[in-house]
Amino acid sequence: MNLFNTVDFHRFAREILMIMFLILLFSCHRHEVSTIGVTRLKPSYEQWLLQADSNLRIVNLYDLGIDSALLFLDECDGLLITGGEDIYPAFYGKESDTLKCEDIDRYRDTLEMMAFKKALHRGLPVFGICRGLQLINVALGGTLLADVPSDFGIEITHRSHNNEDCLHPVCVKDSTLLLSITGIKEVYVNSKHHQGIDRLADDLKASAFAPDQLIEAIEWKEPSQRNFLMGVQWHPERLTISPEMSQTLANEFIHQVKLFHALKK
């Protein structure tokens, strides 16, 4: 009887230990944190991401210095390229257009070009917002309009005179990743830019247009065997008029980030 009790006790103890191990394993897995590198972080971008998933590690690459930022990308599960200054026209073969530019940050240009190329090499999901869309196009060989009103036209106002967001409609094209993600064909978006895509890079296709036919969103032309890539000309991080377009994009980007995180494990 004593032997039976001893055997029974050891079996019970093993079961308890196994249950504790599974609880610990589940807890660790549940609290695994995906990391997103942001080329230049502002509170609006951070809030946009955290609203979709509060369990994220978000790091501002701009403050790290180029060498440290590229090294840190080895730990990242996704790259967000944000809005901001004009891209130096020499990067797309139009240095003579520099006088049309406003603010230029050569450090940021170099950081983002190198960060984007490393992200492609690692297969990271990449999302570009406003300048980020333009940076992706230039990095892949496309060109920009240095100043949309003078180089393209004024049919649609893409930036207001008081430097606040203006609104205009966009049309999402059929058979695009953007349409499959959002399910939205036409939507009003916020706009605050004076540059835009001129010649689209060969590896990209336009997935949305403004009524004046300025490109408003981009993705891979042939997405098979490539990382997730999307760029939008508007600002989803503060698109309050169309929250269904704003948060759906954040959710998809973070979904892709988590997939990458899981696969690399």
22 and 112 part of one domain: no
Q: Which domain holds residue 89?
A: 32-264
63 and 14 part of one domain: no
CA distances from 22 to 16, 95, 190 (A): 10, 60, 47
Nearest Cα neighbor of 51 from 262, 178, 190, 236 is 236
- Below-50 pLDDT ranges, the chain: 1, 3-4, 26-30
pLDDT in the model for residue 121: 96
118 and 49 part of one domain: yes
pLDDT in the model for residue 19: 64
Helix (H, G, I), strand (E, B) or coil at 196: strand
23 and 49 part of one domain: no
Whether residue 129 contacts residue 249, with contact meaning beta carbons closer than 8 Å, is answered with no
pLDDT in the model for residue 22: 53
Whether residue 111 contacts residue 39, with contact meaning beta carbons closer than 8 Å, is answered with yes
54 and 22 part of one domain: no
pLDDT in the model for residue 29: 46
37 and 26 part of one domain: no
- 186 beta partners: 171
pTM given for the model:
0.86
Exposed e or buried b for every residue in 64-83, given b needs 16+ CB within 10 A?
Answer: bebeebbebbeebbbbbbbb
149 and 257 part of one domain: yes
119 and 214 part of one domain: yes
Environment class of residue 184 by beta-carbon count within 10 Å: exposed (0-12), middle (13-18) or buried (19+)? middle
- Total tally of structural domains belonging to the chain: 2
7 and 69 part of one domain: no
141 and 52 part of one domain: yes
pLDDT in the model for residue 10: 64
Which residues are catalytically annotated?
Answer: 130, 235, 237
Task: Spell out the residues 6+ positions from residue 21 whose beta carbon is closer than 8 angstroms to its own.
Answer: none
Task: Spell out the residues 6+ positions from residue 114 whose beta carbon is closer than 8 angstroms to its own.
Answer: 66, 70
18 and 38 part of one domain: no
86 and 18 part of one domain: no
CATH for 77: 3.40.50.880
Backbone phi, then psi, for 103, in 5-degree steps?
-80, 135
- 166 beta partners: 191
Backbone phi, then psi, for 227, in 5-degree steps?
-70, 160
The 10s digit of each residue's pLDDT in 220-239 is 999 988 999 999 999 999 99
